[in-house]
Structure 1
Amino acid sequence: MREQLERNENLDISNEKLKVFQKHFPNCITKDGALDFKKLEAELAEEVDIVKEGYSLNWLGKSYAKVIANLETETVVSPDLDHNLLEVNKDSQNVYIKGDNLDVLKHLVNAYAGKIKTIYIDPPYNTGSDDFVYQDNFIFTPEKLAELANVEIEEAQRILDFTERKSSSHSAWLTFMYPRLFIARELLSDDGAIFISIDDNELTNLKLLCDEIFGEENSKGNIVRATGQTTGQDSGGLGSSFDFVLVYTKTLDVDLSGIPLTEHDLKRFANEDERGNYAYDQMRKTGSNDRRGDRPNMYYPVIDPDGNEVYPIAPAGYESCWRFEKKSYERLLKEDYILWKKTKRDDKEIWWPYVKYYLEGRTKRPSPLWDDLDGNKKATRDLRALFDGKKIFDHSKPIEFIRRILQISESQNSIVLDFFSGSSTTAHAVMQQNAEDNEGRKYILAQISEPTTENSEAYQSGYKYITEIGIDRIKRAAKKIKEETNADIDYGFKIFETKPITEQVSENDLNKMLTFKGSIVSDDTFLNEFGKDTVLTTWMLEDGHPLNINLEEIDLGNYTAYKVDNTIYLLDGNFTIDEHLKTLIEKIEKEEQFIINKLVLFGYSFATQTIASLNDNMKHLRNGRKSADIHVEVRY
């Protein structure tokens, strides 16, 4: 925990960026460790276009936002054991985290980088009010911020002034969004996509920000969603009946999937043969690029049922082309996908070829205009019905809207993340979609513990925080879906909470922790103040283990160690060399399946001599048994 605080004190953003070049372009690094731009330009010149000028989005606070994105979180992650150990939750793959989502994202990135298939977020819209609940807890002097952000002290002071003011300016909103989206990109899998709801107040700025973070080439479009109601009618301008969803992918070669066909679409598939229902389109290419000169290899004769040659001649008389080349035609003909029908041409009946399209497995390309879904009023009614008629949350998104996002992102059996989870619509939608298509999507939700207002129906109903609403909604939705579908899906979820390191120990003990240099006796004071389960959860994430993994308790006599994969965690200070270390070594040497490569110690608990003995014995063990290459790591 001390190490997290110390890393922030010594943060060097430029050095972190330099490591990327050292990894991929070592020949462009000088012997002094500097980046040689001329060499880098020469290295890239043959393969990429290099421009000297470009368009970028700048605002007051951008340098500050980059600092915040690279700082370590100064929080720990604490599990809700009473909830997590319930039968419905103990093996669940779903996760709900209470806390500022910036801290949550920083904890998640070690274990989930490159593993999230779908991210949906509905961030706070910039309405112009100065009551923003997301306020970072980092405290800088102008001098320190100037050093970290590489700006002048005067600019650092201006940045600190507007962040402390809780401003609702465009700059403040962008400063808030940048680090969260920056880390979100790291979490996305290579075939992943992020969907961001927004209104028109920040649409333009968000588009430019996402172009910078995700890459303009990875923009998949802007969904316009009908909200079902018109607001702003007293504004003097146009009212608003829509909000928007910007869609970006992690990499260029990601295609969004189709959506289920509507009843209107299904009417086209009224034809049926032994394979099933089908629709058909004429084999001749229509629309743009339909002339022989456009696709000369797709101009060839085919034989009709009467044995005559048929060429792709357009009704206007010009030579056109088929939809595919002759080799594909022959395959489709052999597989009975070609349908011949009589049609009128120049007052004569002729045979004309068509291609069958079967219904099974078919979807359609989603339109950017989503005006066919129920709007926000339906979402409000559904939520009221779930909470016995009480209005406990404003501005919830419709379940079917989130389900459509899950469908087009092809998130089956993958992880869905929502780090502005509000009333937990995303969790509800994931369970509903899993129940319908029998898939195994998992969700991770994050929500800051924002208080409800005292005069609200939510507060009067006993919900003092938004997180309480979100958690209860998941339980109620799970119960409803199970009763209605009896689907065999994961209805449980585990709860965690981020807590500031500085609030976990007393001020006096915090000073001792920060200046700790070892002890001659074991002492579990710090372990007891943080809590064993909190230390384990925080470290497991740091070591790349997901939150839904279950720890294995290892009995070393009257001492319990904790094992995850090939790592052993030793927390309690009453670990003895004569008994507990001896038992551990015997397990390593005699049990073939008991393979470990790292021992992690909670350094505050262990006597200095015990740590030294552990190090010596593990070195000896490495010499004695090659496969037991065990590293001892002491953390503070």
Structure 2
Amino acid sequence: MIKDTMNANENVKPNSREMAVLKGNFPSCFNVDGSFDMERFKEFLSDKVTVTGEGYGLKFLGKNYARLLASVDTTTVVVSDEEHNLKPENVESENIYISGDNLDGLKHLLKSYSARIKCIYIDPPYNTGSDGFVYNDNFTFTIEDLSEKLSISEEQAQRILDLTKRGSASHSAWLMFMYSRLLLARDLLTDDGLIFISIDDNEQSNLKLLCDDIFGEDCFLGNFIWKKRQMVDSRTKNGVSKDHDYLMCYGRQDTSRIRGKASDKSKYTNPDNDPRGDWMSADMTGLATASQRPNLHYTIKHPETGVEYSCPKTGWRYERSRMKELIENNEVIFPSEPTGRPRRKKFLKDVSSGFTGFSTVLDLPVYSTQGTREVRELFSNKEVFDFPKPVEYIKLILEQGMKEDDIVLDFFSGSATTAQAIMELNAKDNGNRKYILIQSPERCEKKSEAYQCGFLSINELGCKRISLASGKIKEEYPEATVDLGFKHFTLVEPQQNTLDKIEKFDPNESKLFADKTLLNDFGKPTILTTWLVRDGYGLTANAEEVDFAGYKGCYMGKHLYLIDSELPNKAIEEIVVKYETDGGFNPDNIVLFGYSFTWTEVEALKINLKRLKDTEKNLRINFDIRY
């Protein structure tokens, strides 16, 4: 568990994640000693990929440090808020709210939700140079550690630590902060998944280069502009009113695409009972002058009246032969007056998609003041959160990236606008979209109205907003049967005295005695929740409690979890009998909380389960003792 993670982290390098991918896909390129054979790897690229020595990209202080942070596993545990999660409105919910550092949260999610998130939306802190963003992390690398792990000088290591430990709002600090998180976020997206990032002018250009580095330039879909301010601000020092924000969008792969806006089918009718179905009138005017495209400049003659219609200044959209074909097929609508302009019938059946293109200028008459008003109305006219995004703005984004049963992730949750947007979309179309939100327990300032209302941290406020929004949606959509609850989890670092006991515990010297205090320190529900996520079952999985002669084990899929101490021989015998007699009980892995068991208990379990190899099931069980 924690000790295993800490030991594994000792050997982590900045490129550990990338090397694991290479080893998984190109195992033959690794030698016996673990070294990577570049020449053999080049053979795989031969005739398929052009390798160039030229390069262009973003470099900043701490980039390799950010890669290292993305590779190091988290030592936090996942604590379920049982009082909240067992309430009737939440017990069956598949929505998730995580209170904790989003870097840790993303690492936990990757173990269960890798390549499962269809849409990510984040509104990260804008680096305005003020105290709105200050980088701080709780990693305890020494100068010597960083110098060795990153292969840099101690002077460079000191500069990086200065950014992380003293707090910084520099460009390098912001990029370092974002880089590690976006690296992890990319791996959570489905193959056709999309990520949307809100940003302002201060880091927009750097974010573009950062995302090019992580997602690839060919996965860039667009940089949208949202007019967030309705009225021009005349109070600025330089006379420039900053009225817009950017919304940057990337796909997981270069085949990802924006959904677009739904086509307006109400424009299609069939006034002449055309057997081809409903149609609408479409313009046939071209975009080229006579000198540019002479073949698109000609007059059109009505086939029955002989009336000729002059060519527009920019020509027609079609050449003569194609226009003749359209006229013969009764696809051209002729006006009653010679001064009018012929138009084309556009049939609904020929529309390849139910969606139109999506402009990079967001056509949305919704401004930031609406977001403030929405939160104020939920919280009894209290100004508890500054500059939340409007619900309609988030809805527009989500409609581009997900369908009615996808998962959205927001790991800078803030006031939880994303949750409200998802619930409203589901209530409107009876969808089953699910959300996962992560918000750090950032303290509310004592002078703030949020603090005066009893909210000590932003995550508390976010949870409350979801509950208030749920009540509002129930009133507006009384017939809706959608999921309006959520499961709440907190990421917790073990206390120092717990870490001290973990550090001192030696399985080789503790063969006769278990350390029951560590089970008490963590608690069985926390250990089980953390393991279920680690083993790919997610945060909403419910393990089955199984009684083995009074000893309570937990069974889920391919895993049987033994966490409680004192495993008697009678319980071991019951486990074996369960394997032999219950056809639906076939866990391949028995996972033990190592601190709870003596060497004698573990050996007795192993010896008794060996006899299952000789049965009809011929089971080969993996023993996983976690510390």
Q: TM-score, normalised by structure 2?
A: 0.89
Question: 1:240 aligns to what?
Answer: 242
- Whether the aligned pair in 2 keeps the contact of 1:373 and 1:400 (CA below 8 Å) is no
Question: 2:19 aligns to what?
Answer: 18
Say yes or no: does 1:404 pair with 2:396.
Answer: yes
Q: Residues of 2 paired with 1:287 and 1:131: CA distance?
A: 48
- Whether the aligned pair in 2 keeps the contact of 1:133 and 1:450 (CA below 8 Å) is no
Q: 1:621 aligns with which of 597, 606, 612?
A: 612
Q: Residues of 2 paired with 1:49 and 1:323: CA distance?
A: 44
Question: 2:547 aligns to what?
Answer: 555
* Superposed displacement of residue 29, structure 1: 4.0
* Superposed displacement of residue 208, structure 1: 0.4
CA change 1:352–1:236 in 2 (3 A) is closer
SS in 1 for 2:250: strand
Say yes or no: does 1:367 pair with 2:359.
Answer: yes
**Amino acid across the alignment from 1:5:** M
SS in 2 for 1:195: strand
* Superposed displacement of residue 107, structure 1: 0.7
**Amino acid across the alignment from 2:90:** N
SS in 2 for 1:600: strand
Alignment of 1:254-293 (within 5 A): 254-260=256-262, 268-269=267-268, 278-281=279-282, 286-287=286-287
Question: 1:631 aligns to what?
Answer: 622
**Amino acid across the alignment from 1:84:** N
Question: 1:299 aligns to what?
Answer: none
Deviation string, structure 1 residues 2-45 (Cα, Å, up to 9, x no partner): 11111112223445533433333345445554334344334324
Alignment of 1:200-599 (within 5 A): 200-229=201-230, 230=232, 233-236=235-238, 238-260=240-262, 268-269=267-268, 278-281=279-282, 286-287=286-287, 321=318, 339-343=331-335, 354-357=345-348, 362-486=354-478, 487-503=480-496, 505-506=497-498, 508-513=500-505, 517-577=509-569, 579-599=570-590
Q: Residues of 2 paired with 1:140 and 1:494: CA distance?
A: 34
Q: Residues of 2 paired with 1:540 and 1:35: CA distance?
A: 33
Deviation string, structure 1 residues 241-266 (Cα, Å, up to 9, x no partner): 001111001001112112246xxx67
Q: Residues of 1 paired with 2:580 and 2:272: CA distance?
A: 66
Q: Residues of 1 paired with 2:131 and 2:225: CA distance?
A: 27
* Superposed displacement of residue 619, structure 1: 2.6
Q: Residues of 2 paired with 1:18 and 1:461: CA distance?
A: 49
Question: Is there any run of 5+ residues in structure 1 with no aligned partner, and where?
Answer: 297-303
- Whether the aligned pair in 2 keeps the contact of 1:270 and 1:278 (CA below 8 Å) is yes
Deviation string, structure 1 residues 388-431 (Cα, Å, up to 9, x no partner): 11111111000001100111113320111000001000000000
Deviation string, structure 1 residues 30-64 (Cα, Å, up to 9, x no partner): 55543343443343241122221111111111111
- Whether the aligned pair in 1 keeps the contact of 2:409 and 2:435 (CA below 8 Å) is yes
CA change 1:374–1:19 in 2 (3 A) is closer
Q: Residues of 2 paired with 1:560 and 1:450: CA distance?
A: 38
* Superposed displacement of residue 582, structure 1: 1.5
* Superposed displacement of residue 199, structure 1: 0.7
Q: Residues of 1 paired with 2:372 and 2:599: CA distance?
A: 60
Deviation string, structure 1 residues 447-495 (Cα, Å, up to 9, x no partner): 0111111111111111111111100100010111011112110011000
Q: Residues of 2 paired with 1:523 and 1:560: CA distance?
A: 18
SS in 1 for 2:438: strand
- Whether the aligned pair in 1 keeps the contact of 2:136 and 2:168 (CA below 8 Å) is no
SS in 2 for 1:201: helix
SS in 1 for 2:227: strand
SS in 1 for 2:205: helix
CA change 1:493–1:15 in 2 (3 A) is closer
CA change 1:37–1:378 in 2 (3 A) is same
Percent identity for Structure 1 against Structure 2 = 39
Q: TM-score, normalised by structure 1?
A: 0.88
- Whether the aligned pair in 1 keeps the contact of 2:334 and 2:341 (CA below 8 Å) is yes
Q: Residues of 1 paired with 2:577 and 2:244: CA distance?
A: 67
SS in 2 for 1:370: coil
Q: Residues of 2 paired with 1:273 and 1:421: CA distance?
A: 53
Q: How many corresponding residue pairs? A: 617
Of the structure 1 ranges 623-632 and 210-219, higher mean CA displacement relative to structure 2 is found in 623-632
**Amino acid across the alignment from 1:608:** W
Question: 2:600 aligns to what?
Answer: 609
CA change 1:131–1:431 in 2 (3 A) is closer
**Amino acid across the alignment from 2:490:** E
- Whether the aligned pair in 2 keeps the contact of 1:290 and 1:321 (CA below 8 Å) is no
